[in-house]
Amino acid sequence: MKRFRRHGHESQRDKHKQDLYQFNKTVEHGFPHQPSALGFSPSLALLAIGTRSGAIKLYGTPGVEFMGLHDENAAVTQVHFLPNQVGMVTLLDDNSLHMWTLRAHNGMSELLEIGRFTLSGPPGAPPSVTRVTAVLAHSSGELLMLGTEGGHVFVVEVPGFRELEENNISVENVQNRIPEDYVGRRNLECVEALHENPLNPRQVLIGYGRGLMVLWDLDRQRPIQHFLCTQQLESVWWMEDGVNILSSHSDGSYCQWTVTGEDPQTEPEKQETPYGAFPCKAISKIIQLPSKQGPPFLIFSGGMPRASYGDRHCISVIHSKFHEALDFTSRIIDFFVIREGENHRGRERCEPSALVVLVEEELVVVDLQSEGWPVIQTPYLVPLHCSAITCSHHVSSIPLKLWERVQAAGAQQNTHYSRKPWPIIGGQNLSPDPPQRDLLLTGHEDGTVRFWDASGVCLYPMYKLSTAGVFLTDADPNDNMNQGSEGEWPPFRKVGCFDPYSDDPRLGIQKIHLCKYSGYLTVAGTAGQILILELNDEAAEQMVEATVVDLLQGQEGFRWKGQARLDVREEPVLFPPGFQPFALVQCQPPAVVTAIALHSEWKLVAFGTSHGFGFYDYHQKNNIMVKCTLNPSDQVTMEGPLSRVKSIKKSLRQSFRRIRRSRVSMRKHHATNAAKLQEINARLEAEALQEMELAPVQRKIEARSSDDSFTGLVRTLYFADTFVSDGSHSTPSLWAGTNGGAVFAYVLRVPSLERRAEDPVVAHAAKEIQLMHRAPVVGLVVLDGKGTPLPEPLEVAHDLARSPEMHGSHHLLVVSEEQFKLFTLPKVSSKSKLKLTAVDGSRVRRVGVAWFGSRTDEQLESSLVVLTNQGELHVISLPSIKMMVHYPCIRREDVSGIASCVFTKFGQGFYLMSPSEFERFSLSTRWVVEPRCLVEAPLQMRPKNPSSPVHRDQPDGNSARQVMEHALLNDESEPAPQSSIRLFVSLLAVYVL
């Protein structure tokens, strides 16, 4: 008999889903992966970064962020803001130009691409004729000058990208007007630089690769003066007096030239090689800015002595008697200088304020007005990957007291930073204040744990914990690379925090657990080390007591061939304010810690590896219990670090074992003739071989062999106060799930608070569950009598959660890679289940409990959030275990992104979209963190009366530009004049086409 659902019930259920769930990728935290171009607008005070993947990102005052993506999968090679406008032009390595603008919509700005253009040369011309190498955004805001590889300069009108052929400057025109002996000796090569006279916008300096520089008059279409260099030209800088020009060259020298009108000038006024007399590398960029306090600032990149320091990435800053070579840890992309008040007064004599340097792995901002030129702490674009990220842990709703203590500890670490405020201040941040304080903790390969303020749009660094001091490593604590030797030449100073090298990979952090109510922190590492730390506001010198735990329990026949454990320092260690370790558990063998759990109310820490699990009493500092989970066939777990790739030989062996088991099962249940049996066997073998060829996401549920590798690996640990022995008395318990589909439950006897220091914690085995399909157990949750997950330790004691319902039946939810199964407690009888792999071929990779609520209703309900190996997010209701919604989130080929995902308690999540960037997403309609900002046009470009209609049938350029500005800068919700709308649409069609 068919069952029909009522339409009203379905619509009500759908409305309920819409009220609770909505998927959005909201913001990208961290440093852009593979940056390739840098731009800055003084009038907007906005910074732009282009990447090799075609992304373009804009940043202003903290919270003001925009992101765009070119349709072309090509690298951004140059970014240029149109002077005094909200427009921007990008050049890609496929030679295409793209126009972007910031448009107001519903009271906020959005970044839009409004046009694209590619230079087209005459028929039959080589690609070099139109291959763009230099771009000048003219100060009029109406022209782009494009220098090419073939030596030509094309003039293009913007924003329409219309080529003005009559204004183009061909290489032949230049060659015909320079001395014959110069033309005869060398080819001009590509256009390396285009610069506008700061005092006369109708004069442009063209710099060619072979060294020739030509001062060109745009009105009279002829050269005014030539500057003949003998070295390869790298860059040009026109000083603000309009008279002097700097040129930098491939031999590490720079020259100063004077604009006199006398033609040609064969000798510079001054020529200098800062780091000569030995051969030096090229000075790739040079600028000189006047200073109110004495001599100008001279800043240039490169120029290092080739033999001694050719591999250094340096920018030199020279001012008066001060000279420093800022030494970066990765390749320099570009740099610029922010001048105080420049965004208000244009190119007036403004004091240099900050040097902004984009290198491959970080953005460094140097304060040029404070003594010693310290680095300014960046509120965004912080390199999350200064050491490779190995794990993450999110904690929601941090209590104010803990927050302030962590903040204070971080402030004491950051005394070397400049106190000057962040200098990039464009736009308005319209995002409301975060409703709660959230922390994202990231573990790193070098043994550090970094605390990030994850409350809002900016992922801001708060505090850094280092665990290396507990152990004896090869690192020299007195090695300070930031200070150069006195009298050293060049005068190096190391800047930036990117350091990809780890002194000892065994220090790598694998698991983190922070209790926000007690301030206790547990971190576990690659070599089986588990540290328990507490927050201290003062520095302390103390010993760290180590307890060695043998997870093999003396079993014979196993031999560890992997890494040795870390040696603990035997003398007291001085720990700075912040989290300080007071106890250490060392697993033996020293394998990677795969799971930890902290219960700060009972003062217990549980830990697991590929060999077993145990738990430790950090109040009495002794180990309570150890359980070895090894299967006799798990020999591979004794041979070293975990391997994620099985051999083809092993896969073949397991496939044919399944074939033999299937044959035996068939003989028992079916009497078939030989021909039929042969047909079935052939089909089974074909299916087995087909399974090996299919992607893992396409496999079906089937029983896994107990002799598969790593069946004893502990995947999850969970403390719960629930009914384990009987249904009338709840007891503390520990639950552990393994890679082989086994769940172990232990009952704990925790002494009362008065006897906690004297009486031992006692544990004994209570239950064991073996899932029939033996899929890895990735999550365990106990639901109380109302079907709600148990609160966190100390959460009820702090009046932040209601006490769990202890009168109804409790349930244990076991989440394996392939299904969700609900068991009643204490009998552990199966109640219901939801299959995942058998339905769509997915496997569970990440699971977490989250609370959801609508924007209008204060009531919250808990659900299970799941990420699969296909990169899909599922929300599953509790306790009914029904699929509510699912959304695609991560590409299934992005294995590292899926593995790095972490969920929050309120329906958000983070995953690594690149080694240096977290993508933030939200599944909740109530809790969404995303940039909400507005960028207004500079005063000097706003139309005097933007709302007045244009009455001309054929508007001139100025009127057309005003209409364009009106359409792009004003809120779409405001009605525009009808004629303006028609004109804007027609213009936009031209721009796009």
Q: What is the 3-state composition of the chain as percent helix, strand, coil, each rounded to the nearest 5?
A: 15, 40, 45
Residue ranges of E strands in 828-890: 829-835, 844-852, 861-868, 872-877, 883-888
The predicted pLDDT at position 197 comes to 95
The amino acid occupying position 828 is: V
The predicted pLDDT at position 677 comes to 47
Q: Which residues pair with 782 in a beta bridge?
A: 812
Q: How far apart are CA 873 and CA 885, in angstroms?
A: 8
> In this structure, what token pair is assigned to residue 922?
């939200």
> In this structure, what token pair is assigned to residue 295?
């001599």
The Cβ-side half-sphere exposure at 383, using a 13 Å CA radius, reads 22
Q: How far apart are CA 965 and CA 103, in angstroms?
A: 9
Residue ranges of E strands in 210-341: 212-217, 222-228, 233-238, 244-249, 254-258, 270-272, 283-289, 297-302, 313-319, 322-328, 332-339
Q: What is the end-to-end Cα distance of the chain in Å, rounded?
A: 60
The predicted pLDDT at position 799 comes to 87
**How far, in Å, are 374, 388, 602 from residue 498 at the CA level?**
17, 10, 39
Residue 555: closest CA among 615, 625, 630: 630
The predicted pLDDT at position 183 comes to 57
Q: How far apart are CA 103 and CA 727, in angstroms?
A: 63
Judge whether 871 and 844 are in contact, CB under 8 Å: no
The predicted pLDDT at position 706 comes to 54
> In this structure, what token pair is assigned to residue 103?
């448009």
Residues 6+ apart with CB under 8 A from 279: 251, 252, 305, 306, 307
Helix, strand, or coil (residue 654) = helix
Residue 481: closest CA among 317, 280, 326: 326
The predicted pLDDT at position 16 comes to 82
- For residue 596, the Cα-to-chain-centroid distance in whole angstroms is 25
> In this structure, what token pair is assigned to residue 666?
């068939």
> In this structure, what token pair is assigned to residue 243?
């008279």
Residue 146: closest CA among 166, 124, 119: 119
Q: How far apart are CA 724 and CA 424, in angstroms?
A: 59
Residue 584: closest CA among 523, 506, 503: 523
* Positions in the chain whose pLDDT score sits under 50: 1-6, 344-347, 476-482, 642-650, 663-677, 684-699, 943-993
Residue 713: closest CA among 746, 735, 740: 740
The predicted pLDDT at position 640 comes to 56
The amino acid occupying position 531 is: L
Residue 694: DSSP 8-state: S
